[in-house]
């Protein structure tokens, strides 16, 4: 009851819908275990549209932080209230989760994952993904946002459960991690041209695609056959494709698209990292197969337009600091909604 009254007071003071408040019996608030309902009383002197929904979200999400986190909706969320009189038989629903997102901190990252035998990857406190249900992971963000740092965390998490193909056009943090852990990494050398390097990357992708075909044939004979995952990790994919010969780039894009489209059943995954993931960085068909999307750094409509094209990030409460942003996981287990994200530290 106290939460309901608090939320009602906040909306009465800040909503500003032509003087309509609970004092004039224009609407009421009902709280549930998994969210709250804004119930307008009809006839109403205001429109129930997306603008009103997002306005209520902005007020309530800030007012409830850090005790609750509202789940961001791409559009207005109506629910029917069949047991109510006709004047109050519909409401705007605002789902929430209790608490706010919290960063995980690891003292000895390699030791932690060395002792694990499952495919569960913790990303935040009380928030993990099952890698068996991941098709592709995309990480975007401005320079210095913490992309490579988070990517290195994923490498450490996958070292026991997946074969790794590491492609690092900058020869940076992922390459150093690969060297220190005894893994090969594909990076440019001083004697290779940009097109030569991308051609060598395409060779590696071609071998992975052949593995997909072989596994498809094995699954045709035995649909229960299991495979060890293969994960193709590409850091700064935009830097990889920019300025190369068109035919070489087209071949790379074609291979990447086929792996993204065919890899799920055969457990061949992609992890793509870039400052932005527009059509010049990866084909649209590849972005459409991503089911774990992470945007780090500056969050606004411009930066989120490629990974989160339908999202208006206004009202999201995102903590400050490196390795923070938003995440969306579409795997049938998590709410599909976008959440604030704090990358693990180690």
- 186-242 confidence digits (pLDDT tens): 999 888 888 999 999 999 999 999 999 999 999 999 999 999 999 999 999 998 988
Q: Domain containing 325 — which CATH number?
A: 3.40.50.300
Q: Tokens standing for 10?
A: 């906040």
> Both 78 and 188 in a single domain?
no
Q: Tokens standing for 95?
A: 């789902």
Which of 78, 98, 118 lies at the terminal end of a domain, its last residue? 98
Q: Cβ(311)–Cβ(272) under 8 Å?
A: no
> Both 182 and 115 in a single domain?
yes
Q: Cβ(97)–Cβ(42) under 8 Å?
A: no
Residue 26 has pLDDT above 90, yes or no: yes
In this structure, what are the phi and psi dihedrals at residue 58, rounded to the nearest 5 degrees? -60, -45
What is the domain range of residue 79? 2-98
- Quick check: pTM over 0.85? yes
> Both 128 and 182 in a single domain?
yes
Cα atoms found within 13 Å of the Cα of residue 193, Cβ hemisphere only: 7
For the segment 29-80, what is each residue's pLDDT rounded down to a tens digit? 999 999 999 999 999 989 999 999 999 999 999 999 999 999 998 889 999 9
Q: Cβ(29)–Cβ(38) under 8 Å?
A: yes
Which of 51, 77, 98 lies at the terminal end of a domain, its last residue? 98
- Cα–Cα distance, 250 to 253 (Å, whole number): 5
Residue 103 within a domain: no
Residue 236 within a domain: yes
In this structure, what are the phi and psi dihedrals at residue 216, rounded to the nearest 5 degrees? -60, -40
Q: Are strands 127-130 and 324-329 parallel, antiparallel or unpaired?
A: unpaired
> Both 216 and 83 in a single domain?
no
Which of 65, 98, 131 lies at the terminal end of a domain, its last residue? 98
> Both 144 and 93 in a single domain?
no
Residue 116 has pLDDT above 90, yes or no: no
> Both 204 and 278 in a single domain?
yes
> Both 129 and 92 in a single domain?
no
> Both 36 and 136 in a single domain?
no
- Is residue 178 very low, low, confident or very high in pLDDT (cuts 50, 70, 90)? very high
> Both 246 and 172 in a single domain?
yes
> Both 71 and 217 in a single domain?
no
Alpha helix (H) ranges present in 222-307? Answer: 237-241, 246-262, 284-289
Residue 104 within a domain: no
Residue 216 within a domain: yes
Partners of 338 in beta bridges: 72
Dump the DSSP string for 48-116. -SHHHHHHHHHHHHHHHTTTEEEPBPSS--EEE-TTS-GGG-EEEEEEEEES-----B-SSHHHHHHT-
Please count the structural domains in the chain. 2
């Amino acid at each position: 009851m106290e939460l309901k009254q608090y939320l009602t007071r906040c909306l009465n003071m800040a909503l500003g819908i032509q003087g309509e408040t609970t004092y004039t019996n224009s609407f009421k608030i009902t709280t549930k275990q998994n969210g709250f309902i804004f119930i307008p009383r009809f006839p109403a002197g205001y429109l129930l549209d997306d603008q009103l929904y997002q306005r209520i979200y902005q007020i309530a999400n800030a007012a409830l932080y850090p005790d609750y986190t509202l789940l961001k909706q791409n559009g207005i969320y109506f629910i029917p209230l069949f047991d109510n009189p006709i004047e109050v038989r519909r409401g705007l629903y605002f789902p929430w989760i209790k608490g706010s997102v919290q960063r995980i901190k690891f003292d000895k990252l390699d030791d932690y994952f060395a002792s694990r035998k499952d495919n569960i990857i913790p990303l935040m406190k009380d928030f993990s993904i099952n890698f068996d249900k991941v098709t592709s992971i995309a990480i975007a963000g401005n320079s210095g946002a913490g992309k490579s740092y988070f990517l290195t965390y994923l490498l450490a998490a996958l070292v026991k459960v997946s074969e790794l193909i590491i492609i690092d056009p900058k020869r940076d943090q992922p390459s150093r991690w690969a060297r220190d852990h005894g893994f090969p990494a594909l990076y440019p050398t001083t004697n290779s041209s940009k097109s030569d390097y991308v051609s060598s990357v395409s060779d590696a992708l071609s071998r992975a695609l052949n593995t997909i075909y072989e596994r498809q044939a094995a699954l045709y004979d035995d649909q229960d056959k299991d495979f060890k995952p293969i994960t193709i990790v590409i850091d700064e994919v935009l830097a990889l494709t920019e300025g190369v010969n068109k035919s070489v780039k087209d071949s790379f894009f074609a291979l990447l698209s086929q792996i993204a489209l065919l890899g799920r059943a055969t457990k061949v995954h992609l992890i793509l990292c870039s400052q932005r993931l527009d059509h010049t960085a990866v084909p649209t068909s590849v972005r459409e197969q991503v089911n774990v999307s992470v945007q780090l750094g500056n969050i606004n409509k411009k930066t989120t337009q490629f990974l989160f094209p339908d999202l208006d990030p206004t009202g999201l409460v995102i903590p400050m600091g490196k390795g923070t942003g938003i995440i969306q996981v579409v795997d049938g287990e998590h709410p599909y909604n976008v959440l604030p994200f704090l990358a693990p530290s180690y």
